[in-house]
Amino acid sequence: MVDNRHNHSLTPGPIFGVRLKPCFGVALPVAGATPRRSPQKMSSPDSDTLRLSHEELCDRIEKLTCGMMDFWKSAHGWAPIEAAGLLNVSTLEWQSSLSESLRRWISAESDGDLILAWANLGALVEGQLKLFLSIYYRDYAADADAIRDRRGRLTEPDRTTIEPLRQFFVRRIWTVGTDWDTYVSLVQQRRNAIHAFRERELGSFQEWRDTLRTHLSFVRDINSRVPYPDSIYEPRET
């Protein structure tokens, strides 16, 4: 086994294999940098999630999310220093805590709880997008479409919001067969009800519970596209 944890030259290269849009540089032979799951119609749940109960979905989302956050909050020493600096330990721990909170909404019934359930899921979606760009920070910062403020200054992934993130992923990351825009847009719209003082479409708890299947598939996909020093470090959901 080769220990690459201290090799700072391991900047991830093309992370989407043959479907990569031409924005993340030249292919580098980095262990774990290529997708580790087959492309499919994203925004649709993986077929195996249809057999899982809502409690099992929450268990798997929690374990996989916590595993990812636990690894990346300790990434100093092998991740590029710019990326490691963006991976704030407290923020990653919040993501773990938010994944643990999902189960409390499974049996909830009130509109207030539904608003909070969507807010919980939306924060996890946003956190996954920010984690991805933080890990691939060098590529993101060098990209012509990187998110910038009104003065043209680069916006760090951890300082942006879900809409600019979504737009960047639509333009530069997601492709046909690996497109999560429908899912992210749905969660974003439902989550925004927490900011509204007028009526918004909340959906239903059945919709929210069913969306857990898509969220697990979404987290699996993000996890399969980020590099790990060796497969033994790769987070698992079971």
Confirm if 191 and 118 have CB atoms less than 8 A apart: yes
Long-range own/partner contacts, residues 37-44 (CB < 8 A, 24 or more apart)? 37/220, 37/221, 37/224, 39/177, 39/178, 40/177, 41/177, 42/174, 42/177, 42/178, 42/179, 42/180, 42/183, 42/217, 42/218, 42/221, 43/179, 43/180, 43/181, 43/182, 43/183, 43/214, 44/214, 44/217
In this structure, is residue 143 part of a structural domain? Answer: yes
Does some domain include residue 173? yes
The tens-digit pLDDT sequence of the chain (238 residues) is 333 333 333 333 333 332 333 333 322 223 333 455 554 455 789 999 999 999 999 999 999 999 999 999 887 777 777 777 788 887 999 999 999 999 999 999 999 999 999 999 999 999 999 999 999 999 999 999 999 999 999 999 999 999 999 999 999 999 866 789 999 999 999 998 877 666 777 899 999 999 999 999 999 999 999 999 889 999 999 9
In a domain, 137, yes or no: yes
Domain-located, residue 124: yes
Query: The domain containing residue 140 runs over which residues?
Result: 48-233
Classify residue 34: in a domain, yes or no.
no
Is the pTM above the cut of 0.75? yes
Question: Does 9 reside within a domain?
Answer: no
How many structural domains compose the chain?
1
Domain membership of residue 164 (yes or no) is yes
Can you spell out the DSSP letters for 166-202?
A: HHHHHHHT-BTTB--HHHHHHHHHHHGGGG-SS----
Domain contains 1: no
